[in-house]
Structure 1
Amino acid sequence: MSQPEITTARQPIATTYDTNFCFPVRELESERVKLTPFIPDLHADLYFQGSIAHPDLHEFLSWETFTDTSDFVKKVIDGRVRPDGVALYAVIDKTRTSPSPSSSANFAGIIGYVNGSLVNLSIDIGYVIILPPFQRTHVATNAVGLLLQYALDLPPHGLGLRRVQWKANSKNTKSIGAVQKFGFKLEAILRWERIFVGSKTSASNGVKEREGDPRPGTIGMDLVVLALCWDDWESERARVLQAMDRRS
């Protein structure tokens, strides 16, 4: 059973992209998938071009339509990722033939670490968007599995964290069901946890805001919180690695 090959980027990340993250950010690699730090100059246009025809990818995210690559960088990378201290990765499918390390042929999407806490040894996995040509393949399983290994395995191979969280819109049953297969346990439903600006009624909790609400016309959502902790990982690790190696 293969282990992830965890290496540092070929050049210091700080010279190409300030991750603003509290834990070391490294490239993570399995036999079939590589996670490399998201560099806007290398990956932003690949994401925009791969997602522009599929607005449903953002159905449960409070992201509006992007007009072009620079608009995506402005709204997501500069507006959310950098200020919020997200360690965003580009997902590369190593099984696809490509003329370069990152191209439309092998760029499979994005995934990231969010809300890292050195004090509490905890982290969230978020920004999980796999582009349609790579869905229902080995990509998502390997990408999530690599982040779990790095977060929960003990040093020197991992960070030795105690808790990994996954948060999803209560209507996003695909996300909730998929992550439970990794051993994540449902812990809470946070009602009215977030406000959506826009008209994504499918993401709404279905309850109309009261008369006089300070933000009329915005959608409220309920958030499901799941977690996989270090003691869960002790029993789930072998099964996750096996799923990452599965060929069918």
Structure 2
Amino acid sequence: MATSQVFPFSVGDASNDRVKLVPLNPDKHCDTFYRLSSPHPEIYSYMPLLPPASAAEFKSWFHNDSTTHILSFANPETFSFAIIDKTRPASPEDPEGELAGTMSFIRTSAMHLNTEIGFIVILPPYQRTHVATNAVGLSLQLALEAPEKGGLGLRSVHWSANTLNLASARLAERMGFERIGVIPWHMRLVKGKTNGKVGNGRVLPAGGDPEDLWRDTLQLCLGWDQWEDGVREKVTKLMER
């Protein structure tokens, strides 16, 4: 069983006065995350993942020994964070605040110095607050700042969203990402209609399971040059609002 995250970069906490990103600890964070998220299966409507059936199942996503499971600690392309809201009181999960959600670096390449921000889940009590802006901002600072400034020195950060997930696209663009294009028929959502998924809204291909749905994926990107040419300052101002 994997107990620590395998990742090609050294990653620690990232923090400001309102939000903190800490390495996710399944045994510390997953019970609370499941308790707060399980009444809201719609959180997963735009994701290929199904809602976990229990806290134990949610923990198993991270403790999975597969090197290809998107959130497994054994997957060297992925690093997962717990999002802590420091404006709330100390909690059993963290002495500086409350667990507000999770996010990950996924599909990370040490060769090409890039990553994707994925599995962003802001728990319902913390939605429409400062949490999402600050969590994404901290992850961008961590990814794109130079190592001597506490960052990873990556050259680009990517973002993928269901084309119908307008809130995700708006958040990415507000944080400086630019639209690159759309991948049509990108993912088959097996039994998507049964499982409450949101597809691409188009006529299904002939010959498939009528309960399946398909996802078109919007791709966005933020490069190091854009970060240096004003996006860093834009993100800082958004986080300070």
Shared fold, TM over 0.5: yes
Aligned partner letter, 1:107: L
1:165 match: 158
Q: 1:168 Cα deviation (Å)?
A: 0.3
Report if the CA contact (8 A) 1:163-1:229 is conserved: yes
Give the whole-Å Cα distance in 2 for the aligned partners of 1:158 and 1:206: 40
Give the whole-Å Cα distance in 1 for the aligned partners of 2:146 and 2:44: 34
2:50 match: 64
1:236 match: 231
Q: 1:31 Cα deviation (Å)?
A: 1.1
Question: Helix, strand or coil for the counterpart of 2:220?
Answer: strand
Residue 29 (str. 1) matches residue 15 (str. 2): yes
Report if the CA contact (8 A) 1:116-1:124 is conserved: yes
Give the whole-Å Cα distance in 2 for the aligned partners of 1:137 and 1:21: 30
Report if the CA contact (8 A) 2:61-2:71 is conserved: no
Within a 5 Å distance, the mapping from 1:65-214 to structure 2 comes to 65-75=51-61, 78=64, 79-82=69-72, 83-84=74-75, 85-102=77-94, 106-156=98-148, 157-198=150-191, 199=193, 200=195, 203-213=198-208
1:226 match: 220
Deviates more, 1:153-162 or 1:89-98: 153-162
2:39 match: 53
Give percent identity, aligned residues only: 34
1:245 match: 240
Superposition RMSD in Å: 2.1
Give the whole-Å Cα distance in 2 for the aligned partners of 1:62 and 1:194: 8
Q: Measured at CA, do residues 123 and 232 of structure 1 come closer, stay the same or move farther in structure 2, by a change above 3 Å? A: same
Give the whole-Å Cα distance in 1 for the aligned partners of 2:235 and 2:139: 11
Report if the CA contact (8 A) 2:82-2:102 is conserved: yes
Aligned partner letter, 1:62: P
Report if the CA contact (8 A) 1:201-1:219 is conserved: no
Report if the CA contact (8 A) 1:42-1:102 is conserved: no
| TM-score normalised according to structure 2 size | 0.88
Write the deviation string for residues 151-198 of structure 1: whole angstroms up to 9, x where unpaired.
111121211111100000001011001110111000010001111123
Question: Helix, strand or coil for the counterpart of 1:80?
Answer: coil
| TM-score normalised according to structure 1 size | 0.85
Give the whole-Å Cα distance in 1 for the aligned partners of 2:152 and 2:27: 28
The alignment of Structure 1 onto Structure 2 pairs a total of residues equal to 230
Give the whole-Å Cα distance in 2 for the aligned partners of 1:132 and 1:90: 15
Question: Helix, strand or coil for the counterpart of 1:133?
Answer: helix
Deviates more, 1:149-158 or 1:168-177: 149-158
* Stretches of structure 2 lacking an aligned partner (at least 5 in a row): none
Report if the CA contact (8 A) 2:91-2:98 is conserved: no
Report if the CA contact (8 A) 1:23-1:116 is conserved: no
Q: 1:17 Cα deviation (Å)?
A: 3.1
